[in-house]
Amino acid sequence: MRYRTIGTDPGTRREVSVLALGAMLFGSVTDEETSFAVLDRYVEAGGNFIDTSDNYAFWTDGGQGGQSEELLGRWRRSRGTGDEIVLATKLGARPLAPGTDYVGNPEGLSAKVIREASERSRERLGVEKIDLLYAHIEDRTVEPGETVRAFAELVAEGSVGLLGVSNHAVWRVERARALAAAAGLPGYEVLQYHHSLLRPRSDVPSGLFPEGGLGAATGELVSYLGAEPGLTLVAYSPLLGGYGRADKPLSSDYDHPGNAARLAVLRDVAKETGATLNQVVLAWQIGGELPVIPLAGASSVAQLEENLAAVDLELTPDQRARLDAAH
């Protein structure tokens, strides 16, 4: 396993594996035995960066989520894991009532919610301190300053380490970070967005993000990341559910000529390396110039093994240049 530093403050920064494990469906779609097996193998391979959210996976049973955090708590207790595991979770997108969702009825990012939701997450996870806590989705009903101060209070109290943000417009991320800096408070240092080799159409608003797919790592976000060396991008859904799966074709959001060109180059590089399409995509992210940590889930140990093998896959400068240039 290889590792990367997230965060800049010596008191809160952490060394994390270059491949993060997504636990979104653990405890719901993925049963406990399988979830534990995947977690155990990930840690055995040197992985230490596990990602979840307080609302995972509310859509599987019409509830409000919490299954993933609860499973991770049971796994931690049964295995006796400690500070070597970096747990990241998110708040703000938990449905306020069963049978609803976070598009129309999210908990939001008020100071009250941030404190109460973080306490619930710590209890479910069985930890005194959340290593990395994200603002999951935007809440434009709350002033950014209130959210910034509420997160900073948790860091000052020692119940949260690093702060992150996902699925926000770049200008709102910058505004929140500027407010935190001006007040001498800790700000967002980890950005979590959807990022992969294939890119969604920018002219089709996403159902989850009606304003135009704020969940995707746009060119503007990548530019911002490059201009702010203290930031790290955690890329969720890097494999789009599995590259090249005949049983799971790409959605229409990815149907455009640019992606056809990218897929052609990807297939060529996979043949040259003897690796799978998934492994090439992960290696492309892990070894790039920008600090990107792919966040990939796994519903079986076999899937995880495929992903882990990508950590040691070295693309040549020519292969990387061709993947970067394809459009």
Alpha carbons 223 and 39: distance in angstroms, whole number = 34
Q: Tell me the whole-structure pTM to 2 decimals.
A: 0.95
* pLDDT classification of 104: cutoffs 50, 70, 90: confident
Angle between helices 257-273 and 317-325 (to 10 degrees): 170
pLDDT at 184 over 60: yes
Count the helices and strands in the chain (H runs, E runs). Answer: 10, 10
Alpha carbons 240 and 237: distance in angstroms, whole number = 5
pLDDT digits (tens, 9 = 90+) for 6-42: 999 998 999 999 999 999 999 999 999 999 999 999 9
Q: Which of 3, 42, 56, 243 is catalytic?
A: 56
DSSP element (H, E) containing 14: strand 14-17
Angle between helices 32-44 and 67-79 (to 10 degrees): 60
Whether 162 and 132 have beta carbons less than 8 Å apart is answered as: yes
Alpha carbons 222 and 312: distance in angstroms, whole number = 25
Would residue 188 show up in a list of annotated catalytic residues for this protein?
no
pLDDT digits (tens, 9 = 90+) for 206-237: 544 544 456 888 889 999 999 998 999 999 99
Helices (H), 58-110: 67-79
pLDDT digits (tens, 9 = 90+) for 128-159: 999 999 999 999 999 999 999 999 999 999 99
Q: Where are the domains of the chain?
A: 3-247+277-315
Query: How much is the average pLDDT of 261-269?
Result: 96
Alpha carbons 69 and 89: distance in angstroms, whole number = 8
pLDDT at 252 over 90: no
DSSP element (H, E) containing 278: helix 277-286
pLDDT at 161 over 80: yes
pLDDT at 274 over 60: yes
CATH class of 3-247+277-315: alpha beta
Q: Which residues of 55-68 are buried (b: 16+ CB within 10 A; e: fewer)?
A: bbbbeeeebbbbbb
